[in-house]
Amino acid sequence: MGVEIHGAHDYLIDQYLKDQVNDRTDQYGGSLENRCRFALEIVEAVVNEIGADRVRIKLSPFTDYKDSGNSNPSALGLYMAESLNKYDIAYCHMVEPRMKTPLQKVECLDSLVPRMKAFRGTFIVTGGYDREDGNKVVDEGRADLVAYGRMFIANPNLPRRFELDAPLNKYSREAFYTSDSVVG
């Protein structure tokens, strides 16, 4: 049991982190340190409430979904990874730089490795992985774990299918947001 704090994909915390949308002039805006203050204060508050081993955070320093972008995403991701070490949380979950939006993969040379090296706990990557490249990124020590989104929707027993190397159902975009629990 635990809480994954949503610090990604243009939601409130992400809007504080990103210099293209954070136009505050107080101690929560301007410098990198100031923009990260809100996220880190939330982490600290939740850690104090439920214990560090139950706290996780998801971040997407490289995305610019709904204009929530940053002029130096590498530095932002690095600063957050380093700052989070202080709290000894359960894991840090980061979205791959190639995911320009949550669902659109754009090939890019940037990687999360420097952020992973800076973070001393469990580091999870996500964004456009299949079984093969998910295994590869873990085998090569570029991540501790891989999170899956779309494939999980179409394959609720995805870990078992991966284990058996069984065929997968193809996901259907139209079914992503349906209330029909069988189709969706």
Q: Which residues bind ligand FMN (CB under 6 A)?
A: 8-9, 95, 102-103, 126-129, 148-151, 153, 176
* Minimum distance of ligand FMN from residue 70's CB (angstroms): 16
Active site positions, annotated: 11
* Minimum distance of ligand FMN from residue 107's CB (angstroms): 14
Q: Is 160 helix (H, G, I), strand (E, B) or coil?
A: helix
| Distant-in-sequence, close-in-space partners of 25: CB < 8 Å, separation ≥ 6 | none
The CB-nearest residue to ligand FMN is 149
Q: Which is nearer to ligand FMN, 34 or 101 (CB)?
A: 101
Instruction: List the structure tokens of 2.
Output: 């635990």
* Minimum distance of ligand FMN from residue 32's CB (angstroms): 22
Q: Which is nearer to ligand FMN, 167 or 177 (CB)?
A: 177
Q: Which is nearer to ligand FMN, 46 or 59 (CB)?
A: 59
Q: Which is nearer to ligand FMN, 51 or 108 (CB)?
A: 108
Please report, for residues 14, 34, 54, 90, 91, the alpha-carbon distance to residue 47 in angstroms, rounded to integers and kept in the order given: 19, 20, 8, 10, 12
Strands 104-105 and 99-101: antiparallel
- Cα angle for residues 99, 103, 104 (degrees, 5° grid): 55
* Minimum distance of ligand FMN from residue 8's CB (angstroms): 5
| Distant-in-sequence, close-in-space partners of 142: CB < 8 Å, separation ≥ 6 | 111, 112, 113, 116, 125
